[in-house]
Structure 1
Amino acid sequence: MITTDLVDDVRRVTIDRPERRNALTSAGLDALRRTVEEADASVIVIRGAGSAFCAGADLDEVADLGREGAAEFARRGQRTARAIGETDGVVLAAIDGPARGGGLELALACDLRVATPEATFGEPGVTFGLFGAWGGTVRLPRVLGEGAAMDLALSGRVVDAEEALRMGLVSRIVDDPWTVATGIARNDPYALAATKRRLRDDRPVAEQEEREAEAFAELIARYEPEDR
């Protein structure tokens, strides 16, 4: 279900279940988490095989879960999303086609979301009595702001790439997200990791600033004269 390869110094991670629009089972979530945690590149691209990015949870599995099983399934998705956010590598979601429910939630955990013109986005859970439980209720308002997050999550509507760009859900619309990933990969890997850690820091401002100064000093200490 999860395949991976290294291309042009970028770790490419593919959710490879196109016959189910790349919907993820428990096993698929665990495999995705392990693949991201073990990634050996400064830039990681998560993408979907076929015509979709990811349809979210495999509802055939979800339908058979009891209360405790459902809670564990949600925690699995949350662990995977946290792994995406916490890895040192810059994680880019290359979204070509639908990103729905848990698929959108995993994209929200990425550092960058880059869409093609064919990408669409939605949190349809409320339309069939559910909601996103892979950290989506936490990350969606952080990315969009409360008003836009409420609108998207409570309506269950689908937005296209242009509206997603206006909302701040994606940072770019390009024909080939791979070009964005390879451009980022040309930057210094230590600087990329340090910058990601600082931008992700949610400690009080004074603590963030101190850590920022320390991280900057560490990068300066690595410089050789020819790098200047």
Structure 2
Amino acid sequence: MIETETTGRVRTIRFARPEARNALTRAGLETLEAAVKDATEPILVLEGNGSAFCAGADLDLVAGLDRTEAEDFARLGQRVARLLESTRAITVAAIDGPARGGGLELALACDLRVGTPASTFGEPGVTFGLFGAWGGTVRLPRIVGEGNALDLACTGRVIDAEEACRMGLLSKVVDDPVAVATAMAEHPPETLEVLKSRLRDDSERSVQEDREATAFGRLVETYGEDVADRR
């Protein structure tokens, strides 16, 4: 259900259940969680096998859950999304084809979302009385704005890559999203890690600025000679 491979500084984690549009069960989420925890590379790519990125939660599984089990399943998805958000690696969702429900929510937790022209996005839960509960109601309005989030969540409509890019849901649309991650991997890993920690920091402004200065000093100490060589 989850495959991994490493090329240089890039670890790829692939949803590998194409017959079900890469829908995730509890076991799939747990395997994904373990794969993210195991990664040591500075760049981590999520992608789908087959024609879809990820359809989200396996609805056959969801239909058989009682209330407590449903809450536990939601919390597992939230935990995996938080891990993608907080891991030291730069996480890139390389989206080719549909990203729906929980698949979209996992992409929202990544640092960058890069799509192909064939990528599409939707939160269809409302059409059968549910909604995305893997952190989507938290991240979606933060990324695309409250109005766009309400539109997508309350209508269940599907948007294409062009509209997703206009909303800010996608960082960019390219033919090969993995190539974006590969190019990023050429930069110093320590700098990438610092940039993620700084840009993800939600502390008070004075605390952020102090941490920024400290991190800058550390990097100058490490790469100062390289800076001089580039003048």
Show the 5 A alignment for 1:35-184: 35-184=35-184
Counterpart residue type for residue 197 of structure 1: S
**Aligned-residue offset at 1:110:** 0.3
Alpha-carbon separation, structure 1, partners of 2:156 and 2:53: 18
**Aligned-residue offset at 1:78:** 0.4
Q: Runs of 5+ in structure 1 lacking a partner?
A: none
TM-score after normalising by structure 2: 0.96
Show the 5 A alignment for 1:16-27: 16-27=16-27
**Aligned-residue offset at 1:174:** 0.5
After superposition, the CA RMSD in angstroms is 1.0
Counterpart residue type for residue 152 of structure 1: L
Counterpart residue type for residue 10 of structure 1: V
Aligned to 1:3: 3
* Residue-by-residue CA offset, 1:163-193 (whole Å, 9 max, x unaligned): 0001110011000111101110001100000
**Aligned-residue offset at 1:206:** 1.3
TM-score after normalising by structure 1: 0.98
Alpha-carbon separation, structure 2, partners of 1:139 and 1:76: 16
CA separation of 1:224 and 1:199: change in aligned 2, threshold 3 A: closer
Alpha-carbon separation, structure 1, partners of 2:93 and 2:180: 11
Helix, strand or coil: the match of 2:133? coil
Identity %: 61
Aligned to 1:189: 189
Alpha-carbon separation, structure 2, partners of 1:136 and 1:17: 22
**Aligned-residue offset at 1:214:** 1.4
* Residue-by-residue CA offset, 1:132-184 (whole Å, 9 max, x unaligned): 10000000011011111111111110000000001110011000111101110
**Aligned-residue offset at 1:34:** 1.2
**Aligned-residue offset at 1:227:** 5.2
Counterpart residue type for residue 2 of structure 2: I
